[in-house]
Amino acid sequence: MAEMATIKVKKGMNIRQLPYEELEAFFLQMGEKKFRSKQVWEWLWTKHAMTFADMTNLSKELRQKLGENFTLPALTVSSTQHSSDGTLKSGFVTHEGYLCEGVLIPTENRYTACVSSQIGCSLSCKFCATGYMDRKRNLDFDEIYDEAVLLNQQTQKVYGKKLSNIVFMGMGEPLLNYKNVLKAIDKITSEDGLGMSPRRITVSTAGVAKMIKQLGDDGVKFKLALSLHAANDAKRNEIMPINESNNLKALIDALNYFYQKTKNEITLEYILFNNFNDSIKDADDLIKVYRQVPADLVNIIEYNPIDLAKFEKPSEERVMEFMAYLEKHKVNARLRRSRGKDIDAACGQLANKNKQPADVPSS
């Protein structure tokens, strides 16, 4: 007869960090029935319990034992702002008091959650409000999962619909929190999680070539977006310091490798800045990159000004000239109008304007 697995639980550990087999072994060691582990697992991932007290089909004594051995540091909603266009921006609080933000973007046919992967960011992109913040820490996979759950609950409450799409375009660089992002997506797409198709998930990166290739090696099923924003190295270095160590050639090679391995959809994101990257010469540079990458689409994004940056939005006429030139040269481009500008929820505006606690250590 096979020996029962044993585990030594570190008191106060996050219960959601336990694999199912270890949770099962813990209950058996306590003398509990095996089915208790399934009940708790369902509460954690399918029913989205945020506290042990929520697990109402467990005895009070068992809930107390769980509380004595484990923690359940779920995200909570601190505030929600409603835009005039229907967009919702929520501030989420971590167990130690840090803030991150997520956005729900409703359109006629879609309900998209924009989620964060880090608290702050280390990449210092010059046009992005998050880039002017310090990176406090990575979000754990269960915290990223909480964002998706809480935004899905909002969608159902406000619009009577479930989330249709998730984009990792909030605070932070997803590929610098690689393991947690992939683990969160695994849970979001699993049957005991949100059950969402990976084809409805897009991970956006400022361009970490090595990790783009790793996505290919790992055979991921989700879509990939590259935040390009300038199509020559000199200009990209100026606004995105990461380009100095991940230049356009390296990114083009990485995107081709990713596509060769996965055949997943790739999008190029390009914000237009007045008199910086919005000329016909800039459009030509963009076309050259587009033709070297198996991209399905180029999203042209209108810039959302922030207090800390010098950039401005181009005139409507200049935007239309840029779009017409791309169309003339057979580029599949779409102009993406920003949503939630009046509540600082649009692309590049997430900055946690609520004050961060000063006494929480970075990790």
From 24, 100, 101, 147, active-site residue: 101
Q: What are the domain boundaries of the chain? A: 13-71, 76-343
At 94, the pLDDT band (50, 70, 90 cuts) reads very high
pLDDT of residue 138: 97
Q: What is the domain class of 76-343 according to CATH?
A: alpha beta
> CA 305 to CA 316: how far, in whole Å?
15
**Average pLDDT for residues 155-165, to the nearest whole number?**
95
pLDDT of residue 250: 98
> CA 344 to CA 351: how far, in whole Å?
8
The DSSP line for 125-189 is -TT-SGGGSPP-EEPPHHHHHHHHHHHHHHHHHHHS----EEEE-SSS-GGGSHHHHHHHHHHHH
Full 3-state SS string of 249-263: HHHHHHHHHHHHHHC
Protein fold of 13-71: DNA polymerase; domain 1 (1.10.150)
At 264, the pLDDT band (50, 70, 90 cuts) reads very high
For 241-263, write each residue's pLDDT tens digit.
999 999 999 999 999 999 999 99
pLDDT of residue 133: 85
In this predicted structure, the answer to whether residue 6 has a pLDDT above a threshold of 80 is: no
Tell me, yes or no, if the two domains 13-71 and 76-343 fold the same way. no
Does the pTM exceed 0.95? no
pLDDT of residue 286: 98
For 319-330, write each residue's pLDDT tens digit.
999 999 999 999
Residue 128 among the catalytic residues: no
Mean pLDDT across the chain: 90
What does DSSP say about strands 99-106 and 111-114: parallel, antiparallel, or unpaired?
Answer: antiparallel
229: left (phi over 0), alpha (psi -120 to 50) or beta: left
> CA 343 to CA 133: how far, in whole Å?
18
For 33-55, write each residue's pLDDT tens digit.
889 999 999 999 999 999 999 99
Helix spans in 54-93 (H): 60-69
pLDDT of residue 57: 93
> CA 215 to CA 224: how far, in whole Å?
9
For 50-84, write each residue's pLDDT tens digit.
999 999 999 999 999 999 999 999 999 999 998 88
> CA 175 to CA 118: how far, in whole Å?
10
For 124-138, write each residue's pLDDT tens digit.
888 888 878 888 999
> CA 78 to CA 157: how far, in whole Å?
17
pLDDT of residue 305: 81
pLDDT of residue 363: 30
Tokens of 316: 């409507």
> CA 342 to CA 340: how far, in whole Å?
6
**Average pLDDT for residues 159-181, to the nearest whole number?**
96
> CA 87 to CA 343: how far, in whole Å?
9
pLDDT of residue 327: 97
- Give the strand order in the sheet containing 223-227: 76-82, 88-93, 99-106, 111-114, 165-168, 201-205, 223-227, 266-272, 297-302, 333-336
In this predicted structure, the answer to whether residue 358 has a pLDDT above a threshold of 70 is: no
Residue 347 among the catalytic residues: yes
**Which residue, 207, 203, 299, is CA-closest to 255?**
207
The amino acid present at 165, given as its one-letter code, is N
